[in-house]
Structure 1
Amino acid sequence: MSTPPAITPSRRTVLGGLGAAAVTTPGVLGGAPEASAAASSPAPAAAAGTRRAAGPVTYRNKQIHIDGGPALVLGGEIPHFRLKCGDWRSRLDKAKTAGLNAIATYIPWMWHETPDGRIDVTGRTRPERDLGAFPDLCIENGFDAVVRPGPFTMAELKGGGVPERVRREHPEINPKGWHGADATTPAVDHLAPAFLEEARRWYDAVMPVIARRLRADGRPGIIACQLDNEIGMRAEYDDLALGFVPDHYLTEYHPDTDAVRAVVSDVEPVRGSGPRGAPIRGMLLGGYRYRSVDLQAGDLDPARTPVPGPATGEYLDTVVQRRLVRYLRAGGKLLLSGLLPGKDMSGRPSTGLRAALGLTPGRTLTDANRFSPSVTAHGRAAPRAEIRVPKAQLCTASPGSGADAVLRELSTGQGCGFDIPVGAGRAVVVTSTYRCDLGFWTAALRRLGAEPRFTHDAKLPGVFLLTTADGDRGRLLHAFSISPGYGQDVTAAERGKPLFGGERLHLPGRGAAMLPLGVRAGGLRIAYATAEISEIADGRVASRALGDEAVVAVDGPARCTGAKVSVEGGRTLLRVGRREFTVHRG
């Protein structure tokens, strides 16, 4: 394949995911940033094939700009190094059929370094190692490209893509734990001088190849060079946060004593499943868009963090307990799941939170041979079926605390779930590993004043809605269905008001859709559409329907071949009876 001519702009801008950094001279490990590396939601604009005035790729105002204007990058991943080079074109053909305009791929260091320690980027050892060949094929087929040269690429590669030779020849880059124990993961010290020198050698080999293929002069090319991985985008959230305690996620605890092992055995169950897993699933499937908050980082403001939902065990730092108490008394709302903490992270007694809640824990029942604790619902949680749970901590409410037991263990009648006023605030405390009952968890959150902004009428669980926004009041509604094997037709609403004109959205099983709400694209303002945008050009927007029919509402005049058209209040409503179609301005 022919190599494109060298590109020598005054400043070559490359983006790390949705963040930004500049590559100046090949081989230099980084450079001055073109713009903030903040997370972003890309704004709709011209897709591949649309020609604007030539210019560099930049990142500003939380938008990716290509050739002088904001661009919607619809990219797909093709791990070219896992394919024979003869299969590359067929994968690109499929990507084009899917409506993509950019291709992303990793460039693994360990793949290009041969056993003798030399780096092959020309294909001298095998054609798949020709580093320029795959980007050239992407460019030839009209795709922009995003490359990820690491040095740490992850990509489910051994050692994260760092050659084993580097670890072997420089043992000092391998992190050690207490008493010289090996780290629990194969990560290396990225600031170790030896690693930086090896990485510089790797970049000296790959960056010139990348630089010669940067997008310029309005033609496709490499638009981003990601030096990091899994960088997020700007999302919108409801008044809900997941409480996070970093101390509960440490991988090494010292010294190796019975007391420390007790801490580890207590915090491990609350890391992802158990008392944390059920409420998290309840939040997501209940329609809540939540963020996370570090409970060790500082005091919580009830106005900014209305409902944090932490999961706890018996051990919780005293400072965090006091912080939660202050938060509640100042008017905060708290959803607490798990055991009531009674010790700090050193094992010393610490009962400030349980005292403020007015609860005294007693026995903790766990499932055993021929016995499982059963929990019944009462008060605001009733009526609800009796269910079995793996664990229940039985608690007694102090007289005058105002605590209302909403869950009780059947065999003892003692409480394991409470609705409690605390100062100017309120807490819902669940001390049993209650299942992911959507009705229970959403009722608890509503009791605390948290309402999901977006709702739907799906008959079966597994549908949830999220949103991302641009800086021009445009949004994308991300609709997901994780139900296996069957689709669902749903209507969506925002704060009780129907979205998409009340039209039903067809979501296939294990499928998803990105639907525009108030998005400006191609010179049109799309008020809403039940179809995904597949291509944008000046004066037109191509779309792909979720089902056999789609509805597109445009503010102002618009037309579409074969569509039923109606106009009301300056808004054009187009009803289209086919899967793929194009809406034109005017």
Structure 2
Amino acid sequence: MRTVQLSRRRLMIDGKPSLMLSGEVHYFRLDRADWASRLDLLVAAGCDAVATYMPWLVHELPDGSVDLVGRTSPYRDLAGFLELAASRGLSVIARPGPFVMAELKNEGLPFSVYEPGVGSVGWDSTPAPTRDVDYLAPAYLASVKRWYGEVMPLLASRLAPAGGPVVAVQLDNEVGMLSWVTNTPDLGDAAVDDFGAWVRSRHGASAFGLNVDDVDGWRAGVRSPGAGSLALHHELSVFQRDRYARYFAFLRREAESHGVSGVPFLINLHGTGEGRGRTYPIGISQLFPSYSGQPAMTSGSDHYLGDLTVENVADLYVMNAFMAAVHSADQPLTSLEFEAGLGDYGEDLSRQVPPSALALKTRLCVAQGNRLLNYYLFAGGHNPPLDVPVGDGNDRIAFTGERHGFTAPVDPEGQFNPSYPVLASTLADVRSFGDVLADSDEEFDDVVLGFVPDHYLTEYCHPGDDVRRDQVANLERFRGMGPRDVLARSLLLAGFSFPAVNLQSDFTISQVLCLASTPWLSAEVQQRLADHVHAGGRLLLVGALPTQTPEGTPCTVLADALSLAPGDLVNGSPHYFPSVQAAPWTTATAEVRVGVLQPLTLTQPAQPATSAPPATPPHSPAARVTHEVFAADVSSKSPVGVEVHAGDGHALILTCDYPAHLPFWTTLLARLGATPRHTHNATTPGIVLTSTTTPTGTRLLHALNVSPIDQSLVISHQGTPLFEAAEVTLPARTGRILPL
């Protein structure tokens, strides 16, 4: 018997912090005779757990009965697979759906689920183009109760506290993903009526130019809103968050009613695309109310970034930081689908991911405090036929053909590809520090990145609403990591280690708050930022100074507090090339081309330019706001960079997409009093440094070289060379863990 708990952002096994390394193996895609060899390969690679989907589609028979013990086919013997995993000393991460995706038909749901009223309906009453469902449709929930009534008792009898191998249970999979990627909010009659009740409770019967008591008019107006319906779009997305939270609460209650307790519940977050993590926080935004602060529950990432380079290393870093920003003090980071293999998912040789990417991503994630990594997919297999042909071209359980997981470290036939030995060697290195990493926290510099979940409520846009489409485009342009992703990328590659803070909750921070700001920001968050500065806080705001709330209401609370008046955005084009000149103290030596800028007007007289901050900045909250312009539009001479002293605080406002000139960004942070603890003398960008420490003070330095250039560097801590000033060698695309 083992206890499994989440505490202090640790995964605690029998009261001890643990680092769990897992691989995904689909028993239902393998001959029973091959199960043992795949699990043995998993153990040999350094994993101590196996994860697997448990597809409802596979286990439900045509007569509606469920086979979980292999009485009708060996590939349905879930019980036997769990017993075999236990015999190999492997823990199990159970993923029983209902949805599992995994390239299965209906995303893993049986065909019997799709009764009238279950399928999703979107804008203009158009049926969803996917096999999505209304998660709260009574008929769907009744079917889920039946499935959970079969699979959960089997899992309950094999939980770790009962002496079994199951240490965690994932509820559903990638909830909200299908509606986001197809721009299909759930707008069936029941969902729209539910939305009406929600709106009435918050705003009264009249809202968005509609009346919820006019049922037909309400349904038509929500499904086909007029142009410029920003408030309706925003409210609809917030409402969907609540529906997802209710769905997860239902799943958890059902699981617990069948004895699943004493192990963590997991929620898988979707959102990467095209090798980038820029859209990943959409999944966080959709689902964080479902799990944030919930006991014995945490979220896990699902990321497919391909290679890890200077372009996207900050994506992964910020993904982890934003996940942590909405976790409670007990909820650790995990990764439930950690991309393994070589990336040729289409079998067309259009993409190859070097095995080194797997190693680099592993090193970064464990440095940031991930306590569980599940390598997906570890072993390929074969898709068996459906029991009853449906005439869809292949009549198999999945749409990938007969073979599946052909790019995994272990292919469908059990052969290695080059990622397998890299995985094994990486995990051996990680395991050598395993006890320390399991009980370590990342150490941070005097910088924190602001996270605004509502900036990611962009999953829905009515096809006929150009105003909403423009809003979405500009939110995508400015949010998160900043325009062109330069803010977060520059921080990380300049040597800063930083957490994130959820600005939609009350916060008190002493670090420099870095915010990639958009033209839309709620009055509440604007007021928090204004209070932060006037109370003595430090702020680096990059992008656009907000002028509206997400609903489209004019709002300049923050700008007013800083005595600035933001103008309209000036965009570059094939015939116009906005350019900015920064002051010499920023290290700028020439004007730079930018893609967008927002001119600012100072509503109090500007101070003369200096080469150093004012010797005695004002410290009284009632003190007059003072400005110093440090960057301007070359054409209009309008300020786009302003240093502000307001109350007791200090802010730098930069309203353009300034390039990733690392000395420029480190100088801005130094102006606000923040410098990276770890520095180095490498000349090629691509070095990432961070450190971790245990409660007893055991410290590790994590060094990555994501560039394609071999580098040797002297690393310093607060100006003092480490390792007796010896050079640390980091060949191209490698990393090291170094005791401090």
The question of whether the paired residues in 2 share the 8 Å contact of 1:409 and 1:415 is answered with: yes
Note if contact 1:112-1:129 (Cα within 8 Å) is conserved in structure 2.
Answer: yes
1:359 aligns with 2:303: no
Alpha carbons 1:214, 1:221 under 8 Å: kept? yes
| 1:482 shift after superposition | 2.9
Scaled by the length of structure 2, the TM-score of the pair is 0.53
Partner residue, 2:30: 84
Give secondary structure in 2 for the equivalent of 1:290: coil
- 1:319 has 2:524 as partner: yes
Match in the other structure for 2:447: 240
Q: Larger deviation: 246-255 or 305-314?
A: 246-255
Partner of residue 109, structure 1: 56
Do 1:80 and 1:134's aligned partners in 2 also have CA atoms closer than 8 Å? no
Hey, what does 2:145 align to over in structure 1? 200
Does structure 1 conserve the Cα–Cα contact (< 8 Å) formed by 2:28 and 2:76? Answer: no
| Alignment partner, residue 535 of structure 2 | 330
* Residue 390 to residue 113, structure 1, CA distance change in 2 (3 Å): farther
1:424 equivalent to 2:371? Answer: no
Equivalent in the alignment of 1:400:
605
Residue 421 of structure 1: CA displacement? 1.9
- Cα distance change on mapping 1:114 and 1:73 into 2, 3 Å: farther
Q: 1:70 to 1:283 in 2, by over 3 A?
A: same
1:127 to 70, 74, 97: 74
Partner of 1:278: 486
**Compared with structure 1, are the counterparts of its residues 188 and 217 closer, same or farther at alpha carbon in structure 2 (3 Å cutoff)?**
closer
1:480, 1:511 within 8 Å by CA — same for their partners in 2? yes
**SS of alignment partner, residue 547 of structure 2:** coil
- Deviation sequence 1:188-213 (CA, Å, 0-9, x none): 56566544443333333334444555
Q: Is the 8 A contact 2:703 2:735 kept in 1?
A: yes
Cα distance in 2 for residues equivalent to 1:39 and 1:212: 28
Please list, as runs of the form range in 1=range in 2, the aligned pairs for 1:5-84 lying within 5 A after superposition: 15=4, 20=5, 37-38=6-7, 40-41=9-10, 63-65=12-14, 70=16, 72-81=18-27, 83-84=29-30
Pair 1:413–1:198, CA change in 2 (3 A):
same
Change (3 A) 1:177 1:307: farther
More displaced stretch, 404-413 vs 442-451: 404-413
Equivalent residue for 1:169?
Answer: 115
Deviates further, 120-129 or 254-263? 254-263
C-alpha separation in 2, matches of 1:102 and 1:180 = 45
CA distance in 2, matches of 1:377, 1:386: 7
Normalized per residue, the structure richer in strand is: 1
* Contact in 1 for aligned 2:446/2:674 (Cα 8 Å): yes
Q: How many residues align?
A: 456
Whether the 8 Å contact between 1:314 and 1:339 is mirrored in structure 2 is yes
Distance 1:383 1:107, change over 3 A: same
Q: CA RMSD in A?
A: 3.9
Contact 1:177–1:252, Cα closer than 8 Å, also in 2: no
CA distance in 1, matches of 2:676, 2:105: 41
Q: Which moved more, 1:279-288 or 1:349-358?
A: 349-358
* Deviation sequence 1:34-53 (CA, Å, 0-9, x none): xxx456245xxxxxxxxxxx
User: In structure 1, the residue corresponding to 2:659 is in which secondary structure?
Assistant: coil
Query: Is structure 2 residue 495 aligned with structure 1 residue 287?
Result: yes
SS in 1 for 2:599: strand
Q: Distance in 1 between matches of 2:162 and 2:122?
A: 51
Kindly indicate whether the alpha-carbon contact (under 8 Å) linking 2:27 and 2:35 is maintained by their aligned counterparts in 1. Answer: no
Change (3 A) 1:207 1:361: closer
Which of 161, 169, 173 does residue 225 from structure 1 map onto? 169
> In the alignment, what sits opposite 1:573?
none
Residues 276 and 337 in structure 1, CA contact (< 8 A), matched pair in contact too: no
Query: What does residue range 136-535 of structure 1 map to in structure 2 within 5 Å?
Result: 136-153=83-100, 161-163=108-110, 165-166=112-113, 168-169=114-115, 171-172=117-118, 194-211=139-156, 213-214=158-159, 221-226=165-170, 227-228=265-266, 229=268, 230-231=299-300, 232-233=332-333, 235-236=441-442, 237-250=444-457, 251-252=459-460, 263-272=471-480, 275=483, 277-298=485-506, 300-301=507-508, 304-362=509-567, 364-402=569-607, 403-475=627-699, 477-483=701-707, 485-498=708-721, 505-507=728-730, 509-513=732-736, 517=739, 528=740
Q: Which residue of 1 aligns with 2:209?
A: none
Q: Supply the AA of the counterpart residue of 2:706.
A: I
Q: Larger Cα Rg: Structure 1 or Structure 2?
A: 1
Structure 1 residue runs without a partner (length 5+): 1-8, 21-36, 43-62, 518-527, 529-586
Q: Which residue of 2 aligns with 1:562?
A: none
CA separation in 2, counterparts of 1:471 and 1:504? Answer: 29
Distance 1:365 1:511, change over 3 A: same
How has the CA–CA distance of structure 1 residues 508 and 146 changed in structure 2, closer, same or farther, with 3 Å as cutoff? farther
Cα deviation 1:127-180 (Å, max 9, x = unaligned)? 3332134434433434333333233446676766444543x12635x6667776
Distance 1:387 1:184 in 2: 45
* 1:391 positional shift: 1.1
User: How many Å separate the matches in 1 of 2:542 and 2:131?
Assistant: 33
140 and 343 in structure 1: CA distance in 2 versus 1, 3 angstrom threshold: closer
Query: Where in structure 2 are there 5+ consecutive unaligned residues?
Result: 171-264, 269-298, 301-331, 334-368, 370-440, 608-626
Q: Does structure 2 conserve the Cα–Cα contact (< 8 Å) formed by 1:357 and 1:401?
A: no
Give me the whole-angstrom Cα distance separating, in 2, the residues matched to 1:350 and 1:184.
38
How far is the alpha carbon of 1:469 from its aligned partner? 4.8
TM-score, scaled relative to structure 1? 0.66
| Cα separation, 2, equivalents of 1:329 and 1:170 | 57
Secondary structure of 1:314 counterpart: coil
Name 1:100's counterpart in structure 2: 47
Is the 8 Å Cα contact of residues 107 and 147 (structure 1) preserved in structure 2? yes
- SS of equivalent residue, structure 1 residue 452: coil
Asked if structure 2 preserves the Cα contact closer than 8 Å seen for 1:73 and 1:102, the reply is no
Identity over aligned pairs, percent:
39
